[in-house]
Amino acid sequence: MPDATKPPLVQVQGLKMYFPITAGVFRKHVGDVKAVDNVSFDIHEGETLGLVGESGCGKSTTGRAILRLYEPTAGSVKIDGIEIAKADERQLRRMRPTMQMVFQDPQASLNPRMTIAGIISEPLDEHTQLSKKEKLLRVYELMDQVGLNRTFANRYPHEFSGGQRQRIGIARALALNPKFIICDEPIAALDVSIQAQVVNLLEELQDRLGLTYLFISHDLSMVRHIADRVAVMYLGQIVELAPRDAVYAQPLHPYTQALLSAVPEPDPEAEVDRHRILLTGDVPSPANPPKGCNFCTRCPQVKPICHEIEPRFQEVEPGRYVSCHIYQDQNTTAGNTAAPQTELV
Amino acid sequence: MPNGAEPALRVDGLKTVFRTRGGAVHAVNSVSFDLYPGELLGVVGESGSGKSVTMMSLIGLLPQPPAEIRAGEVMFEGVNLRTCSPEHLRKVRGPGIGFIFQDPMTSLNPVFTVGYQLREPLIKHMGLNKKQAHARAKELLELVGIPDAERRLKDYPHQFSGGMRQRVMIAIALTCDPKVLIADEPTTALDVTIQAQILELVKDLRQKLGMAIVWITHDLGVIAGIADRIMVMYGGQIVEQGPVKEVFRAPAHPYTQALLRTVPSVRGDRAPKLSVIEGQPPILTAAPAACSFRDRCPKAFDLCHSQNPPRFEAGPGHDAACFWNSAADSPRAAPLILTEHDHA
Ligand SMILES: Nc1ncnc2c1ncn2[C@@H]1O[C@H](COP(=O)(O)OP(=O)(O)OP(=O)(O)O)[C@@H](O)[C@H]1O
Ligand SMILES: Nc1ncnc2c1ncn2[C@@H]1O[C@H](COP(=O)(O)OP(=O)(O)OP(=O)(O)O)[C@@H](O)[C@H]1O
Ligand SMILES: [Mg+2]
Ligand SMILES: [Mg+2]
């Protein structure tokens, strides 16, 4: 269970990740894809923060920038009090073991020429002085933890099913006893029963080892299951952040409302009368976000002010943050143009 | 199932085996199904149950060896694709039968721009000139909801997000207006709003062009929303198929029943622990000589351990390969008919 009395394990503040757009033979810099644009959140030790949002909104990029797999354009990322965003190579190498990532695509992230034992022990080779025998014992221990049969140790990735491959990725991520794991769509390609197995496994490991997760997913029903709090992302920014039950019972941001209403029911009868908020209007490009609120081109409740002024990300109820003019208190927005998101979570 | 119409695709008794160092893997065991023009057939089933291998086998996309297609007929426009010439098969792929692969990164070419990969089939198969192909490519990217399409045509696959790559794959498959579209988990990385948009697009094409569609997915919500018929695979076989409403209302196979129970929802109460189907998937080292779900099945009785169940009728256009009659909650009384399964 998250311990709110300690300082948060992960503190992300004003994180920006821009990819340059170049043109012509001289690769002249003509603009930026603002994949992540001023994102701030905290994650407490032992907590799971779910990160949801539509395809291309910047979830994977956020994850990668936090772990410095990309060089962030701006912002601060502190893990266990240590600044990651500006750490040098040596510091970073020392930090690596405490933070791990389970990647979106298990197929592509496992080396097809290495055995399972080889893949799981790779981080041990790199970061520990364990003997060969100790390493093998640790590999077996990890395989037990994720429910993989030890006799599979010398097999190759293509001989496993999708669910088993995902477990190999999780075992490798656990090898160095990390405190914080970013899971990027860890279950998207699995059938529902195996999805449930993986989610139950992650929860069990969290209880046993006190792990902290950032769980990236577009599957709102699974996020509802695993997350303690949920952050909803749209076009590079977080538009709503709140405890799980609050988000699902009463979503505040019009985008969150539309997102939840669009989840199909596994029941053709219910499907017929499900009330869906259909989003129309252009999906803007992160290279050219609209003026005012990012969501103004598609928002069913759009007001004139939304085309002019960027809403602030602020706390509207204890623990509930939303970035929307509907909930903005008058005095903060009046005459305030494109207020920077200084409010911290 | 539209009555009287000729199926657009007819698959009969398909069997595919892999020869590996560790022995044979019987991935597809006597799979038969029909697909009608304008129909959307949803395919679900456990990871490793043979969904992808079935579809790859029927249009000759599996490298042989290690794969070996041992039996079966695949009829498309009066020709058996299993025995026709390789040239004919190449001509069918694309404009006849379009395919969206499960893993976009392995089928998108990393060294060509997305625009090039969209224009090429338009020029080659649809007879468009370069300029027309460019305009159509842009339109297709817009149709699958990728903003700033004009600029994105110049980008390479690695510059797209996971879900965007999937949408590029969908756009490429749609370049040739295929008669049959086989989509292998095309929307796993897509959020619900974009998924809804893609599904609308697909429904529209089905109506306008009479396209017949096979849609493989793990998302039962998607199936409930768009499919006419559903086919459930387990252990390399079709264990149940029928009209989608029927199968969701009264699933006849214990695997389908268990599958429907495991789906979490965003509405209603939140379960404290997710339910799973206990037990291990079958090992496919031999053709099934008994029911492959027996060890995980709450209804299994002696017959299930000695014979592989044939497909029994469970309702109009609805059948299930199970010796247990779920509707009557008793073993089947019907006399045993030997089917393909038994002399595999
Ligand atoms: N290396 C890159 N170069 C240029 N643009 C990039 C790069 N990586 C990502 N982008 C762009 O950044 C945006 C966000 O991408 P990201 O992969 O973070 O999305 P996502 O939320 O993970 O989406 P999905 O759910 O589809 O995986 C997209 O517009 C994408 O095209
Ligand atoms: N090249 C291969 N060599 C050996 N076995 C293989 C090969 N390709 C597939 N298989 C096996 O064939 C079986 C069916 O695989 P298939 O890819 O069709 O499953 P699927 O139903 O599509 O699963 P998923 O939902 O995970 O995509 C699996 O048991 C798999 O391990
Ligand atoms: Mg992603
Ligand atoms: Mg597959």
Q: Beta B40-45 vs B67-76: how paired, if at all?
A: unpaired
- Tell me, what's the pLDDT at A166? 79
Place of tokens 């001509």: B91
Which residue from B49, B184, B238 has its CB within 8 A of the most atoms of ligand 2, so it is best to mutate? B49
The per-residue pLDDT for B119 is: 93
% of chain A residues with pLDDT over 70: 89
Q: What is the pLDDT at residue B336?
A: 52
Q: Do B162 and A220 touch (CB under 8 A)?
A: no
- Rounded to whole angstroms, the Cα distance separating B20 from B173 reads 31
Question: Residue A342: is its pLDDT beyond 60?
Answer: no
Higher pLDDT, A152 or A47: A47
Q: Is the dihedral of CA B97, B103, B104, B106 positive or negative?
A: negative
Residues in chain A: 345
Q: Give the number of whichever ligand sits closest to the CA of residue B190.
A: 1
A223 contact partners, CB below 8 Å, separation of at least 6:
A50, A52, A215, A217, A230, A244
Specify the pTM.
Answer: 0.82
Do residues A148 and A164 lie in contact, with contact meaning Cβ atoms separated by under 8 Å? yes
Paired strand residues for A39: A15
**Listed range (B109-113, B143-147, B317-321) with the worst mean pLDDT:** B143-147
The response to whether residue A188 sits with its C-beta less than 6 Å from ligand 2 reads no
Question: What local confidence, expressed as pLDDT, does residue B338 receive?
Answer: 45
Which residues is B18 bridged to in the sheet?
B25, B67
The pLDDT-based confidence of A138 (bands split at 50, 70, 90) is very high
Query: At residue A260, does pLDDT exceed 80?
Result: yes
Residue closest to A296 by CA, chosen among A330, A254, A332: A254
Residue range A54-62: average pLDDT?
Answer: 90
DSSP label of B133: H
What distance in angstroms lies between residue B25's CA and the mean position of ligand 2's atoms? 9
Kindly give the pairing relationship between strand B330-331 and strand B324-325.
antiparallel
Residue B138 CA to residue A56 CA, distance in Å, equals 18
Q: Which of A109, A14, A121 is nearest to A69 (CA)?
A: A109
Assess B280–A contact: CB distance below 8 Å, yes or no: no
Of B279, B145, B107, B184, which Cα lies nearest the Cα of A189? Answer: B184
Average pLDDT over residues A144-166: 77
Give the model confidence (pLDDT) of B185-196 as tens digits. Answer: 887 777 777 777
Task: Report residue A2's pLDDT band, with 50, 70 and 90 as the boundaries.
Answer: low
Average pLDDT, integer, range B207-230? 87
In sign, the C-alpha dihedral spanning B291, B296, B300, B301 is: positive
- Rounded to whole angstroms, the Cα distance separating B208 from B214 reads 17
The alpha carbon of residue B125 is apart from the nearest alpha carbon of chain A, in Å, by 30
Tokens of B190: 């897509």
Ligand 2 touching residue B66 (CB < 6 A) = yes
Residue B108 scores a pLDDT above 50: yes
Band (pLDDT 50/70/90 cuts) for residue A272 is low
Contact, B238 vs B232, CB < 8 A?
yes
Residue B99, beta-bridge partner list = B182
pLDDT at residue A59 greater than cutoff 90: yes
The angle at the Cα of B231, spanning B226 to B232, to the nearest 5 degrees, equals: 120
CA dist list (Å): B287 to B22, B291, B308:
16, 11, 10
Cα–Cα dist A254/A279, whole Å: 10
Amino acid at B238: I
Report residue A339's pLDDT band, with 50, 70 and 90 as the boundaries.
very low
Q: Do A262 and B192 touch (CB under 8 A)?
A: yes
Residues of B in contact with A188 (CB under 8 A): 188-189
Confidence at residue A246, expressed as pLDDT on a 0 to 100 scale: 94
pLDDT value of position A188: 75
Specify burial of residue A36 (Cβ count, 10 A radius: 0-12, 13-18, 19+): buried
Amino acid identity of residue B235, one-letter, is G
Q: Which residues are within 8 A (CB) of B186 and not within 5 positions of it... i.e. 6 or more apart?
A: B100, B166, B169, B170, B198, B215, B217
Which residues is A51 bridged to in the sheet?
A216, A231
Closest listed residue to residue A117, CA positions, set A187, A172, A62, A67: A172
pLDDT single digits (tens) B130-178: 999 999 999 999 888 888 889 899 999 888 887 788 889 888 888 888 8
Query: Would you place residue A343 in the very low, low, confident or very high pLDDT band (cuts 50, 70, 90)?
Result: very low
Secondary structure element (H or E) that encloses residue B25, with its range: strand B23-35
Rounded distance between C-alpha atoms, residue B200 and residue B216, angstroms: 17
Taking Cα atoms as reference points, which of A58, A43, A28 lies closest to residue A287? A58
Q: Mean pLDDT lowest for which of B157-166, B291-300, B303-312?
A: B157-166
A291-328 residue pLDDT tens: 999 999 989 999 999 999 999 999 999 999 999 999 87
- In the structure encoding, which two tokens stand for residue A309, read together? 């002024």
ipTM: 0.76
Tell me the mean pLDDT in the region A102-128.
83
In terms of pLDDT, which residue wins out, B1 or B222?
B222
- Which structure tokens are listed for A192? 């529902």
Residue of B32, B21, B23, B8 lying closest to B286 (CA atoms): B23
The mean pLDDT value for B229-242 works out to: 94
Q: Does B131 touch chain A (CB under 8 A)?
A: no
Residue from the list A188, A259, A284 with its beta carbon closest to the beta carbon of B193? A259
SS3 category, B242: strand
Lookup: tokens for A234: 């749209």
Going by pLDDT thresholds of 50, 70 and 90, the confidence category of residue A282 is low
Determine the residue of chain B that is closest to A216 in CA distance: B189
Q: Is the pLDDT of residue B62 over 50?
A: yes
Q: Any residues with CB less than 8 A from the CB of B104 and at least 6 apart, and which?
A: B157, B165, B166, B168, B169
Ligand nearest to the CA of A164: 2
**Quick one: pLDDT at residue A332?**
46
Least confident of A127-131, A332-336, B212-216, B283-287: A332-336
Residues near ion ligand 4 (CB < 5 Å) are B 52, 102
Closest CA to B169 of B192, B185, B154, B155: B185
Confidence of residue B3 (pLDDT cuts 50, 70, 90): low
Does pLDDT of B4 surpass 70?
A: no
Mean pLDDT of A154-176: 81
Mean pLDDT of B241-262: 91
Q: Is B41's C-beta closer than 6 angstroms to any atom of ligand 2? A: no
Per-chain mean pLDDT for chain B: 85
**Average pLDDT score, chain A:** 84
Q: Residue A41: helix, strand or coil by DSSP?
A: strand
pLDDT at B344: 38
pLDDT band, very low/low/confident/very high, at A277 (cuts 50, 70, 90): confident
A195 token code pair: 């999805």
- The pLDDT tens digits of the residues spanning A177-192 come to 888 999 998 777 777 8
Q: The tokens of B276 are what?
A: 């799973």
**A283: three-class secondary structure by DSSP:** coil
Q: For testing the chain A interface, which of B44, B105, B146, B274 should be mutated: the one with the most A CBs within 10 Å?
A: B274
